[in-house]
Structure 1
Amino acid sequence: MTITSLDFQPNQPIPAEFTCDGSNTAPTLEFTDIPINAKSLVLIMDDPDSPSGVWTHWMMYNIDPLTTILEQPFPSGVAQGINTFGEVVYDGPCPHNGLHHYVFTLYALDEALSFPKPPTRSEIEYALTGHILQSAQLIGTYERQ
Structure 2
Amino acid sequence: MGLRNTAKRVRLATVVAAVSALSFVVCGCSFIGGRPAAAEIAEVHVDSPQLRDGKPLPREFSCKGKGTSPPLRWSTEPLSAAKSIAIVVDDSSASGAAVHWVIYNIDPRTTLLGEDASSDPPPGSSQARVTSGKAGYQPPCQDKGNYRVSVYVLNGRVPVKSDRTLREILQDVATQTIARGRLTAVDIE
Asked if the contact 2:62/2:188 (under 8 Å) is kept, the reply is no
| Aligned pairs for 1:59-138 within 5 A | 59-71=102-114, 72=117, 73-95=120-142, 98-117=143-162, 119-138=164-183
- Aligned equivalents of 2:167, 2:78: Cα separation in 1: 25
Alignment partners' CA distance in 1, 2:77 and 2:134: 28
| Partner of residue 17, structure 2 | none
Q: Aligned AA for 2:55?
A: Q
Bigger shift: residues 24-33 or 117-126: 117-126
By how many angstroms is 1:34 displaced?
5.2
Runs of 4+ in structure 1 deviating by more than 6 angstroms, as ranges, are none
C-alpha distance in 2 between matches for 1:118 and 1:27: 27
CA distance in 2, matches of 1:94, 1:57: 10
SS of residue paired to 1:126: helix
CA contact (8 A) 2:59 2:188 kept: no
Contact 2:129 2:166 in 1 (8 A): yes
Higher CA-based Rg: 2
Structure showing the higher helix proportion among its residues: 2
On the 8 A contact 1:3/1:136 being kept in 2, the answer is yes
Percent identical pairs in the alignment equals: 29
More strand by share: 1
Q: Any idea what SS the aligned residue of 2:93 has?
A: coil
Compute the TM-score of the two structures, normalised by the length of structure 2: 0.69
Alignment partner, residue 7 of structure 2: none
Report if aligned partners of 1:102, 1:139 keep a CA contact under 8 Å in 2.
yes
CA contact (8 A) 1:34 1:65 kept: no
- Write the distance in 2 (CA, Å) between the matches of 1:39 and 1:138: 22
